[in-house]
Amino acid sequence: MEGHAPVLLEECLRLLSAEQGGDFLDATFGGGGHSRALLEAHPQVRLCALDRDPEAAERAKALAAEFGDRFEFYSANFSSLDTLTGTVKDRNFRGLLFDLGVSSFQLDQAERGFSFRMDAPLDMRMDTNSGMTAADFLETAREDELILAIREYGEEVRWKRVVRAIISARGTGRLQRTAVFAELIRDAIGPAAKHSRIHPATLSFQGVRIAVNNELLAITDALPVAFNKLEKGGVLAVISFHSLEDRIVKRFFNRMSGRPEHGRDSTSVMERNPVAELLTRKAIVPSPSEIARNPRSRSAKLRAIRKL
């Protein structure tokens, strides 16, 4: 199994500008690529890291051994940032980084059930200690929840066929394993699947993953708390991989930096008194050479604000 290549690493380091050291927080430790780079590049940096995946906690032990009390790891969902105890509660940070979505460790390990390319139980939970597996979600979700997952989160244009196929497969065992579920989607989409550049199950798998892990709610809840935990002059940077995620980040950053919201003509308090400076007018995206080296980076978008 290969590791996870940190995305937009140089760009993140530049935006977080940690040269003078201080306290930083990596809200999505994953394989620790961004955490390690910050700790190695800047000896005065102290870093707290979080991840909801118990396997990330295992990987974090190597950094704890290497960097001693400069590094601290929390097994937690970043949506509960405001309830964490210890260092995270006591400190404000010079920089916080969110690198959203799943890691290559999660995608490439068949038994995690994220990939339709490897047969395994349909799990897809980032936190394997809690919550409902994807199989249980598909067996029990209401129709409107399935539509939200497949049409909104997955952006699957043939969502009606997929949702209908899921409902009629309930109780037959066809919603239990990745490979059979991928076949079910391919059959539901029918001949149109032949002309697609991507595997016909790609979008539905993405949608189910986002639903099972409540990914959009977690980021919506976490951004204001993260902003509160910034020191004055500190930077909040977010890498997203999905247009709905990016929209949440963009709107929050625009609001904090006093940019008028699209379609609204009255001036809000925040527009008159911005509390942040937008550091990325347009999202930063990976260079062609990064995409060539790491195709999984292709949909990444990096945005950042500085607290005033």
Q: Rule CB under 6 A: which residues touch ligand SAM?
A: 4, 6, 28, 30-34, 50-53, 56, 77-79, 99, 101-103, 126, 218
What minimum distance in Å lies between the beta carbon of 253 and ligand SAM? 19
Return the number of the residue (77 or 115) whose C-beta is nearest ligand SAM: 77
In DSSP terms, 107 is beta-bridged to: none
- Candidates 102, 125, 115; CA nearest to 178 is 115
Residue with tokens 């595997």: 199
Return the number of the residue (154 or 258) whose C-beta is nearest ligand SAM: 154
Residue with tokens 């497949």: 150
Return the number of the residue (32 or 200) whose C-beta is nearest ligand SAM: 32
What minimum distance in Å lies between the beta carbon of 138 and ligand SAM? 21
Cβ-based neighbours of 199, under 8 Å, separated by 6 or more: 116, 117, 182
Return the number of the residue (99 or 156) whose C-beta is nearest ligand SAM: 99
CA 212 to chain centre: 13
Whether 125 and 213 have beta carbons less than 8 Å apart is answered as yes
Return the number of the residue (28 or 178) whose C-beta is nearest ligand SAM: 28
- Candidates 123, 307, 153, 138; CA nearest to 233 is 307
What minimum distance in Å lies between the beta carbon of 98 and ligand SAM? 8
What minimum distance in Å lies between the beta carbon of 74 and ligand SAM? 9
What minimum distance in Å lies between the beta carbon of 225 and ligand SAM? 12
Distance between CA atoms of 55 and 5, rounded to whole angstroms?
17
Distances in Å between the Cα of 132 and the Cα atoms of 49, 69, 122, 129, 271 are 25, 35, 11, 10, 41
What minimum distance in Å lies between the beta carbon of 52 and ligand SAM? 4
What minimum distance in Å lies between the beta carbon of 66 and ligand SAM? 15
Return the number of the residue (99 or 290) whose C-beta is nearest ligand SAM: 99
Record the tokens describing residue 12, joined without a space: 């993140």
What minimum distance in Å lies between the beta carbon of 192 and ligand SAM? 31
Cβ-based neighbours of 191, under 8 Å, separated by 6 or more: none
Residue with tokens 């790609």: 202
Return the number of the residue (188 or 222) whose C-beta is nearest ligand SAM: 222
In DSSP terms, 235 is beta-bridged to: 95, 306
Angle at 169 between CA 166 and CA 172, to 5 degrees: 150
Residue 150, CB-side half-sphere exposure with 13 Å CA sphere: 27
Return the number of the residue (87 or 179) whose C-beta is nearest ligand SAM: 87
